Structure 1
Amino acid sequence: MKADNTTLVDFLSQSKTLFEIPVYQRNYEWGEAQCQQLFGDLVKARESGNNHFIGAVVYVPESGDKMSHIEIIIDGQQRLTSCILLLKAIAASDPTVQEEIEENFLTNKYVSLNDHIKLKPVEKDQEAFQAVINDKINSYQGPSKVIENYKLFCKLIAESAYSGQELFEGLNYLNMVYINLDGGSEAENPQVIFESLNSTGVSLSASDLVRNFLLMKLNSETQERLYKQYWLKIERLFTNNVFTEFIRHYLVMKTNKLVKREDVYLTYKVYYHDNHFTSEEALIDLYKNASFYNALLHGTSESSQFNKTIGHINIMDKKVVYPYFMKLMGMARDGAITWDKINEIGIIMESLLYRQMVCGIPSNSLNRIIVKLTTHVEGDNEFNNLRQQLLNSNFPDDKQFKEHVVEYPIYIRKRNCAKMTLVVLEEHRTKETINFDDAQVEHIMPRRLSNDWKINVSGADTINQKYGGTLGNLTLTKYNQEMSNKIFEEKRSYYAESNIQLTREVANNYAVWDKNSILNRANELAEELAVIFAKPAMLADSASIDNSGEHTISEELDVTGMKPIRLTIQNDDFAVKSWNACLVAFLNYIWENDSETYERIKQDSSVHNKIFSNFRTPKVLDNGETIDTNFSANTIAALLAKMAEICGITDEVSYTIR
């Protein structure tokens, strides 16, 4: 390894040198603020005459043709690209320095590599960068950060008090550090260096890190081939955030464990090494599953029924099921399960998610169940596996569900879900598909009450506040919005002429619109929804089923008489023999891993008054503090749930009982 200080000018003026940004690096992404900062640093350095440090560049040297040199940029490529764009803008602004800059800093006159251009960016930026260097930006089509930032530098130079010549002289004051990884030891492994430079996770996303991990160790030719053959195709399917979420869900499916967003990269590395993958094998598997994930995002699977189901699940924003659905789609591809069975499973999961949403049950209670569903079973046993896991889920029964439908302010909490529900109800009547985007949600009693409404309906304000956003007061319409605040008598005549059956029923069945009307209609629709989003018959005898097994801490379960045998916290298992042992194990874990959060638990009044005072059955924690453990099983389960909520790990805590 060689490392030294140099100036930006000296580094970029190296003769017969190509600066190559490898395919595994991310695209050029500097924003306006960063470019303005760089230009401001240049101006300050020019004014003060003092040196200014702008950062480091890390590279691996390679030999090129005709005694040329190639420097593979491992880190600092964003800054390096911006500096070259700034140099080009200075050259374009002042003919007196144009030739010197172009010949010494932008091009290699005697090296044909990369069309003589000194910097080779990643493929996506290549065309735009060449357009800048060759003065052809007007012919470039499409958006580009490269073009955008070059124009910004041109603007900043034009507005500056300094000429291009003066700014060019100021570049001599910009200092940098170069790190040349020319050794073969592990300490100089580019991947190790790269990870240490990006250890905070601020500059690169998990998907960026995974890409670099898979491609960095390969030779340039193999990098290029695998990047184009697999990674680029995946990249075109997803935005950066979605890409990382895809990898997280992929890992849940493959490892059968919960994976936190901040642990995606480290978990992927462990998974890769445990399975003894080559980079190509890993990319092939990612590529196959990326197509499944994309089909889930956009409802483009082989089955129209499943696409309808996943469309509803996406509207509910319940992507927690994606790892399980990816597994099923892979099984279908391999002939291990039919699409008819997948459709049945999808409908069951949709019903579970919808009922839980209406009943206010957080979907994180499903995380561990989804993890168990991703484990491998033979196709014929998939329904048995599903049944067993759903018996351990909080699947609301008809009574609970219908009661919540009446009261749930669905329009306020989940506006798109309100529209989806109404569309589903209409399609249930007509058996025809409704265009979701064309339909509008209509408040029968309007959100803003006119004086006529307040005069005609006793207690209209109170009724509207409590029931205005509930299903009983909602329907679908396509009529002019000017009617939205009209009194019911006027609306009713329009409803009667509606081409939407759900809306015509309001006109046909109700002469007035008040609290009783809203509740009557809500109860009728609740009965219908209990059929549409049915609890499957295979769970009908769930009341008589033994609750032995693993349960998330957020589940509503009577654990009286049940004995815990294991407590699981963030994938760490603790063998226990009693409920008070669970309490001790949980607090010891939090103290060891996050003492600040432990103090927050103590400061919570309900927890403090219960655990940290009135010691009837005292137990001593690892930190020497004493707690009380003389509580019922259900009380300790509730305390664990409360403390997990304070810690922000509700979906990562479970217990196993027998």
Structure 2
Amino acid sequence: MQIVQGRIMNDFIEPNKHQYTVPVYQRNYEWSREQCENLFHDIVQAYKSDKTHFCGSVVYSQFYEVNGIYYHIIIDGQQRLTTIYILLKALLDLSDTDSKREKMIEALFNQDKYDAYSIDRQSKLKLKPIKSDNNQLMLLMEDRYDEMDKTGEIWENYQIFCELIRNTLEEDDLDVKDIYRGMEKLICAKIKLDSDDNAQEIFERINSTGVPLSLADKIRNFVLMTDVEQERLYTDYWLEIERLVSKDQLTTFFLNYLNIKTEGFAKESEAYDLFKTVYHDNLYTNESMLSELLHYAGYFHTFLYGDNPKYSVRVNELLKSLQKLKQTTVFLFLFRVFDDYDQGVINTTELEKVLAFLLNYSIRRLICEIGSNSLRGLYKTLYSRVFGKASNKEHYYDSIISFFLQLTSKDAMPDDMTFLMALKEKNLYRKNALCRFLLVMIENRGKEQLITDNLTIEHILPQNKNLSTSWQNMLGENWESDRDRLLHTLGNLTLTGYNSELGDKPFEEKKDLLSEVNTKVVELFKDVKTCECWNAEAIERRADRLAGVIIKLFPLVLPENHISFADPRYHEYTCEDPQEATNKKPQYYILQGERVNATNFAQMLRSVILRLYAMDPSPIEQMARFDEQLLPWSQNILFSYDPTKVSGKYINIDGTTILVSQGFSASNIVQIIRALLEKYDIGQDDFVYSARPS
């Protein structure tokens, strides 16, 4: 490797019979207006001060010589050289004499005055950028401006330099030849590589003054720089990857790829080194790596856009729905699932069932406000946890749903009751994408699809804190608490094209504007238009109906074949012997066939009480009203309206003033559950719990 001080014009632009080629692994030309302006001002200042200006390094290697033309590869510095080339063309076009134009032409083009070198259209230019940029540069140099891409950086920067040159000629009393003399003062670190130098390693060590390399740039250079077939690999693989994955998504794609290939999670700052480790440890060739990247880029594109005709309409619709809800962490699992589909492990029906479940699971998590911080870890390990036993693939969907039903962490599938309660009570409006998605799904079920792009989410009961008197009177004496509790919930939300017009209008006027004649919204509005009074009762009644619709749209389809992921330490127990609960840690309980996760006995008791109360509130209300002692031998009262009667850190039954005692032992809790089952006339065989020794 030879490092000397060089001059941009004297060493790289002016010499005849030389061409500097930008290899295909380099990024596209992408200098900004600010960078062009800074370079131009540096050039003008260098002329005015008669001093040199350092503009970075140019790393190159001599490639070969054909017909008297010497071809070189530019390893680093292509952005600056391309920019100077564009500036020279602008100077050529704004030169006012033949002698000045001749000077620029000699700098831009290889000359063959005696036809000795067979110079053709391709070898005439002294700079050859990568394919897409080269086409644009050729059009510019041949004055074929009408054929150029007017949104590309080459055309835009040419226009910028023309503007800067005109302004400088008018305001600074300078000439084109003065700007050229300023360019002659640009110096650089001229680094010529020898045949035994490792171009890739040198490239990575360069402290470039240009645009920082992205992760995609580094990976592209790594898999193309050292290959003699880089032109073919670039065209057949890399350009296809870029076509499938937009530039702003490339980094995310490569991080996803690394996350399915390695343990732990890839950080962007460490991803390039991790990629090289994956490449070397798995003995990839450049082509085998590019082939695999292209394979997963196809999946990634499908996940993002749901537009792949290779898959069914239903598969594409489900992928679009996941994307609308921004559920991109699921990609880590889907890469493996789609591999199985393409390899014939599962058919279209099974793939549709898996995607429908993942959409259902995502919606339930969002509605129940389960934190997303565990999702990446869940989806990264999910495939190995479900299909670590190869025979589980024989019942693909059943294995996945069985796994989620047996989870005891917060990642477990929320059951129907929990989902229903959250649908009716949680603030849905602040989850804007989810809220809109669910309202559209409700409206479009089982009928001609309504175009909803121009519709917005509307509160039937207005958001204004200073409600009008008519609204206060309609809500009743508890109007403030009812408004705060119900304002942003499912029962009070609809879709409309008249959001800005509705505002705080009285209910009767809102009904007219929300009529199906005006908005064509039918399903969401049918129980509103028949209402005479929009109060808490009406909102809760509508929430019940809409939540029921959503449950039908996203049912929890149980497995036909139960696949066990049970920990052998756990066993199932009934209420018959409460002492069996002592020194045990529960995992779940099953009440009348419904399995519910519970990680401690106190949580189990609260959950059982909530389910029984939802089934029939009267037995619990009666026990609370009369401070009934549920266990004859115990002085503790389980339910009461009086805080002095209950024990421990008591809690409320949600939405009521009924207090529940806390602080019971595991065996006492099982006895309480047994007594409650008797109150509700539920047989002991209808309740079991799973636990292991603690």
TM-score class normalised by the smaller sequence: 0.7 to 0.9
C-alpha distance after superposition, 1:425-478 (max 9, x if no partner)? 2234x3544434254323223445774665655576776565433322211234
Aligned partner (choices 197, 214, 219) of residue 210 of structure 1:
219
Residues 399 and 563, structure 2, Cα contact 8 Å, conserved in 1? no
Counterpart of 2:639 in structure 1 is: none
Counterpart of 1:235 in structure 2 is: 242
Counterpart of 2:189 in structure 1 is: 177
- Residue 204 of structure 1, CA deviation: 1.6
C-alpha distance after superposition, 1:475-510 (max 9, x if no partner)? 123468534543211222344535333233233453
- Do residues 323 (structure 1) and 332 (structure 2) align? yes
* Alignment map for 1:43-58 (pairs within 5 Å): 43-58=44-59
Letter in 2 for 1:140: M
C-alpha distance after superposition, 1:515-552 (max 9, x if no partner)? 44333323433343334334443499999965989xxx
3-state SS in 1 of match to 2:534:
coil
- Do residues 418 (structure 1) and 423 (structure 2) align? no
- Residue 387 of structure 1, CA deviation: 4.0
- How far apart are the structure 2 equivalents of 1:28 and 1:496? 55
Residues 57 and 208, structure 2, Cα contact 8 Å, conserved in 1? no
**CA distance change for structure 1 residues 397 and 209 in 2, over 3 Å: closer, same or farther?**
same
- Do residues 344 (structure 1) and 353 (structure 2) align? yes
TM (normalized to structure 2)? 0.72
Letter in 1 for 2:545: E
Counterpart of 1:398 in structure 2 is: 416
TM (normalized to structure 1)? 0.76
Counterpart of 1:441 in structure 2 is: 457
Letter in 2 for 1:401: F
Residues 515 and 521, structure 2, Cα contact 8 Å, conserved in 1? no
**CA distance change for structure 1 residues 487 and 108 in 2, over 3 Å: closer, same or farther?**
farther
C-alpha distance after superposition, 1:54-82 (max 9, x if no partner)? 11111121113123222211111111111
- List gaps (5 residues or longer) in structure 2: 571-582, 587-692
- How far apart are the structure 2 equivalents of 1:84 and 1:293? 38
- How far apart are the structure 1 equivalents of 2:40 and 2:23? 26
Letter in 1 for 2:297: A
- How far apart are the structure 2 equivalents of 1:192 and 1:296? 35
Residues 8 and 184, structure 2, Cα contact 8 Å, conserved in 1? yes
**Backbone CA RMSD of aligned residues:** 3.2
Counterpart of 1:69 in structure 2 is: 70
Residues 88 and 106, structure 1, Cα contact 8 Å, conserved in 2? no
- How far apart are the structure 1 equivalents of 2:538 and 2:209? 58
Residues 26 and 208, structure 1, Cα contact 8 Å, conserved in 2? yes
**CA distance change for structure 1 residues 452 and 236 in 2, over 3 Å: closer, same or farther?**
farther
**CA distance change for structure 1 residues 461 and 36 in 2, over 3 Å: closer, same or farther?**
farther
* Alignment map for 1:480-629 (pairs within 5 Å): 482-483=501-502, 485-498=504-517, 499-538=520-559, 546=567
Counterpart of 2:322 in structure 1 is: 313
- Residue 198 of structure 1, CA deviation: 6.8
Counterpart of 1:168 in structure 2 is: 180
- How far apart are the structure 2 equivalents of 1:145 and 1:61? 28
Counterpart of 1:631 in structure 2 is: none
Residues 150 and 156, structure 2, Cα contact 8 Å, conserved in 1? no
Letter in 2 for 1:440: T
- How far apart are the structure 1 equivalents of 2:568 and 2:167? 73
Residues 398 and 559, structure 2, Cα contact 8 Å, conserved in 1? no
3-state SS in 2 of match to 1:317:
coil
C-alpha distance after superposition, 1:358-402 (max 9, x if no partner)? 222233312222122344664325346524652432432334333
Residues 59 and 180, structure 1, Cα contact 8 Å, conserved in 2? yes
Detail structure 1 runs of 4+ shifted over 6 Å in the superposition: 198-202, 459-462, 539-544, 560-563
- How far apart are the structure 2 equivalents of 1:497 and 1:139? 51
Residues 355 and 533, structure 1, Cα contact 8 Å, conserved in 2? no
Aligned partner (choices 472, 489, 494) of residue 475 of structure 1:
494
- How far apart are the structure 1 equivalents of 2:274 and 2:208? 15
Residues 219 and 272, structure 2, Cα contact 8 Å, conserved in 1? yes
C-alpha distance after superposition, 1:100-144 (max 9, x if no partner)? 122124445454372401111111112221122222223324421
**Bigger shift: 528-537 or 136-145?**
528-537
- How far apart are the structure 2 equivalents of 1:298 and 1:43? 49
C-alpha distance after superposition, 1:573-614 (max 9, x if no partner)? xxxxxxxxxxxxxxxxxxxxxxxxxxxxxxxxxxxxxxxxxx
3-state SS in 2 of match to 1:177:
strand
- Residue 171 of structure 1, CA deviation: 1.5
Letter in 1 for 2:130: V
Counterpart of 1:255 in structure 2 is: 262
Counterpart of 2:152 in structure 1 is: 144
Counterpart of 2:6 in structure 1 is: 6
Letter in 2 for 1:423: V
3-state SS in 2 of match to 1:469:
coil
- Residue 32 of structure 1, CA deviation: 0.7
Q: How many residues are paired up?
A: 548
Counterpart of 1:646 in structure 2 is: none
**Bigger shift: 100-109 or 530-539?**
530-539
Letter in 2 for 1:275: N
- Residue 416 of structure 1, CA deviation: 2.5
- How far apart are the structure 2 equivalents of 1:531 and 1:198? 60
- List gaps (5 residues or longer) in structure 1: 550-559, 564-656
